[in-house]
Amino acid sequence: MARPDPHSVTDDSQPTTRHLEWDATVDFQSKRLSATVSLHFKEAAKSPTPFDLDARALEVSTVTDLSGAALKWEALPPDAILGTPLRVHVPAGATGVRLEYRTGPEASALQWLEPSQTHGGNQPYLFSQCQAIHARSVLPCQDSPARRVSYRASMNVPSGLVAVMAAAPKNSQSKGGRTTFHFEMPQVIPPYLLAFAVGDLASKDLSPRSRVWCEPGLLASAAWEFEGVERQIEAAESLFGPYDWERFDLLVMPPSFPYGGMENPRLTFLTPTLLAGDRSMVNVVAHELAHSWTGNLVTNVNAEHFWLNEGFTVFAERRILEALEGHENAELHAALGRNDLEEAVARFEKAGTPELTRLRTRLAGIDPDEAFSVVPYEKGYLLLRALEAAAGRERFDALLQGWLEKHRFGSVNTDDFIAHCEQLAPGLLAKVNAPQWIDQPGIPADAPRAKSARLDAVKALAGTVPEASAVAGWSAIEWQLFLEWSPRTLSAAQLSALDERFHFSSAKNTEVHVAWLLLSLQSGSDAMLPQVESFLGRVGRMKYLKPLFAALHGRASTRPFAKTLFEKNSSRLHPIARQVIAGMLAK
Ligand code: BES
Ligand code: ZN
Name the residue of 268, 310, 340, 378 to mutate for ligand 1: max ligand atoms within 8 A of Cβ. Answer: 310
Banded model confidence at residue 111, pLDDT cuts 50, 70, 90: very high
For residue 288, the ligand 1 atom closest to its alpha carbon is 11
Q: Are strands 249-252 and 267-270 parallel, antiparallel or unpaired?
A: parallel
User: Could you read off the pLDDT of 310-359 as tens digits, one per residue?
Assistant: 999 999 999 999 999 999 999 999 999 999 999 999 999 999 999 999 99
Instruction: Supply the pLDDT for residue 12.
Output: 98
Could you give the percent of the chain with pLDDT greater than 70? Answer: 100
What is the SS3 assignment for 558? coil
Instruction: Supply the pLDDT for residue 212.
Output: 99
Instruction: Supply the pLDDT for residue 257.
Output: 98
Question: What span, in angstroms and rounded, lies between the C-alpha atoms of 520 and 512?
Answer: 12
Residue ranges around ligand 1 (CB below 6 Å): 131-132, 259-263, 284, 287-288, 291, 310, 372, 377, 543
Name the residue of 193, 271, 287 to mutate for ligand 1: max ligand atoms within 8 A of Cβ. Answer: 287
Ligand that comes closest to the CA of residue 577 = 1
In DSSP notation, 117-141 reads GSSSSSS-EEEE--TTTTGGGTS-B
Neighbours of 587 (CB within 10 A): 7
Residue 379 main-chain phi, psi, to 5 deg: -70, -40
| DSSP H/E element including 225 | helix 219-225
pLDDT (average), residues 271-295 = 98
Banded model confidence at residue 422, pLDDT cuts 50, 70, 90: very high
- The DSSP output letter for 54 is B
The answer to whether 348 and 373 are in contact (CB under 8 A) is yes
Helices 414-424 and 307-325: angle between axes, nearest 10 degrees = 60
Instruction: Supply the pLDDT for residue 556.
Output: 96
pLDDT (average), residues 536-563 = 98
Q: Is the pLDDT of residue 440 over 90?
A: yes
Q: Which residues are catalytic, by number? A: 288, 377
Ligand that comes closest to the CA of residue 260 = 1
**Nearest protein CA to atom 5 of ligand 1, as residue:** 131
Q: Where are the alpha helices (DSSP H) in 407-541?
A: 414-424, 428-431, 434-439, 453-461, 476-485, 492-502, 510-522, 529-538
Distance of CA 209 from the midpoint of ligand 1 (Å): 23
User: Could you read off the pLDDT of 76-100 as tens digits, one per residue?
Assistant: 999 999 999 999 999 999 999 999 9
For residue 309, the ligand 1 atom closest to its alpha carbon is 1
**Nearest protein CA to atom 15 of ligand 1, as residue:** 260
Instruction: Supply the pLDDT for residue 118.
Output: 97
Q: What is the pTM of this model?
A: 0.98
pLDDT (average), residues 21-50 = 98
Instruction: Supply the pLDDT for residue 290.
Output: 99
For residue 295, the ligand 1 atom closest to its alpha carbon is 1
Q: Is the pLDDT of residue 1 over 90?
A: no
The C-alpha angle 447, 451, 454, rounded to 5 degrees, equals: 150
Neighbours of 139 (CB within 10 A): 28
Instruction: Supply the pLDDT for residue 550.
Output: 97
**Nearest protein CA to atom 8 of ligand 1, as residue:** 131
Instruction: Supply the pLDDT for residue 492.
Output: 97
Which domains are assigned to the chain?
1-199 (2.60.40.1730), 301-439 (1.10.390.10)
User: What string of H, E and C letters represents the secondary structure of 284-346?
Assistant: HHHHHHHCCCECCCEEECCHHHCHHHHHHHHHHHHHHHHHHHCHHHHHHHHHHHHHHHHHHHH
Residue 51: strand pairing partners: 88
Q: Length of the chain, please?
A: 587
Name the residue of 189, 262, 299, 545 to mutate for ligand 1: max ligand atoms within 8 A of Cβ. Answer: 262
Q: Is the pLDDT of residue 222 over 80?
A: yes
User: Could you read off the pLDDT of 243-276 as tens digits, one per residue?
Assistant: 999 999 999 999 999 999 999 999 999 999 999 9
Ligand that comes closest to the CA of residue 265 = 1
* Structure-derived torsion over alpha carbons of residues 301, 306, 307, 308, reported in degrees to the nearest 10: 30
Question: What span, in angstroms and rounded, lies between the C-alpha atoms of 351 and 360?
Answer: 19
Neighbours of 277 (CB within 10 A): 10
Instruction: Supply the pLDDT for residue 436.
Output: 98
Instruction: Supply the pLDDT for residue 360.
Output: 98
* Nearest CA-CA partner of 197 in 183, 178, 218, 177: 183
* Nearest CA-CA partner of 333 in 343, 342, 322: 322
User: Could you read off the pLDDT of 300-309 as tens digits, one per residue?
Assistant: 999 999 999 9
Q: Is the pLDDT of residue 444 over 90?
A: yes
pLDDT (average), residues 538-565 = 98
Distance of CA 223 from the midpoint of ligand 2 (Å): 22
pLDDT (average), residues 213-225 = 98
* Structure-derived torsion over alpha carbons of residues 428, 334, 317, 407, reported in degrees to the nearest 10: 30
The CA–CA distances, whole Å, from 261 to 97, 242, 302 equal: 33, 22, 20
Q: Is the pLDDT of residue 391 over 80?
A: yes
The answer to whether 29 and 126 are in contact (CB under 8 A) is no
Protein residues within 5 Å, CB atom, of ion ligand 2: 310, 313
At 406, the amino acid letter reads K
**Nearest protein CA to atom 22 of ligand 1, as residue:** 260
